[in-house]
Amino acid sequence: MANLILKNSSVVTEGTPKAPTISDLVYGELAINYSAGRLYFKKADNSISYFPSIEEVATASGPINYDRATVASASTTSDIWAAAGNQIDFTGTAIVTAFPNAPKAGVERVLVCASTCGFTASSNMLIDGFPTGRTLVCAANDIVLVRAISTTQFRLSYHPYVVPGTHFDFVVASEALVAGNLVNVWNNAGTTSVRKADASSASKYANGYVLSSFDASAVATVFFHGVNDKLSALSAGLQYLSAASPGACTTTPPSGGGQLVQIVGVSFSATKMAFQFNQPIQLA
């Protein structure tokens, strides 16, 4: 029996496999670079295209694939590019300041955060809406899309896990915040900042909430409408008000002179409250 021999080459120059030219192939004819594992053919538009090797697909140096992989977060060594899939369960709680080099510009990874973790913006880690030095803090089920602008520079886009209709923005925390806190977004000497709401202060009415914890000076993800599901010990079906205890809510209206009476939502379980901004009333 005769063997079927394709036109072939083993040449790879500086990482680039040698490909056939237009004149090397007729329509329906195939060629192979057996070092790279690529199978080439001529398209109807008279150009050369190829089927990539399995290794190229798995390492993101070839076309996109939709396999799922797992990578642990680490400061600089989370090799998302070596994972055998474009969708990654991103485990651990580390703050990422850099990624290893990508195989080439243009590749992407979708990171699904398994728990609280972070990414710090820099000249090589461009994060939408974040200046250099600020850290994006993510919660479980948040998604971060990483695009390689070059092999060493990356752009990150943040997609928080929220219910439909939720509104949020990024604001610098002027004090430490805890997941579930009711917060007050305010003008801090010309800088939009966020702090804990406090019904004992007329200027600290509740106009949002946070679902993750943030250190002072960190960029907090502040939600202005939606479900606050980081609470505890609520009674379902009751209206809640901003409390005189910073960041907390209560069913007992504040009663002290100068304090604020402000309904902030209705609970529907022990841990969840539908947040709704209402105009505060200051007591005489």
Task: Give the pLDDT confidence score for residue 129 in this predicted structure.
Answer: 84
Q: How many CB atoms lie within 10 A of CB 119?
A: 27
Burial of 177 (0-12, 13-18, 19+ CB in 10 A): buried
Token pair 């002179």 in the structure block, residue: 257
Residue 63, pLDDT score: 47
pLDDT in tens, 228-255: 999 999 999 999 999 999 999 999 999 9
How many residues does the structure list for the chain? 284
DSSP one-letter code for 53: P
pLDDT of residue 58: 53
pLDDT value of residue 119: 95
Residue 100 in this model has a pLDDT that exceeds 80:
yes
- For 185-200, write each residue's pLDDT tens digit: 999 999 999 999 999 9
Q: How far apart are CA 114 and CA 105, in angstroms?
A: 27
| C-alpha to C-alpha distance for 27 and 44, rounded to whole angstroms | 8
- State the average pLDDT over residues 262-276: 96
| Average pLDDT rounded to a whole number, residues 82-89 | 86
Q: Where are the domains of the chain?
A: 7-51, 68-159, 167-282
Looking at residues 208-214, what average pLDDT do you find?
93
- pTM for this structure? 0.62
Say what the pLDDT of residue 282 is: 94
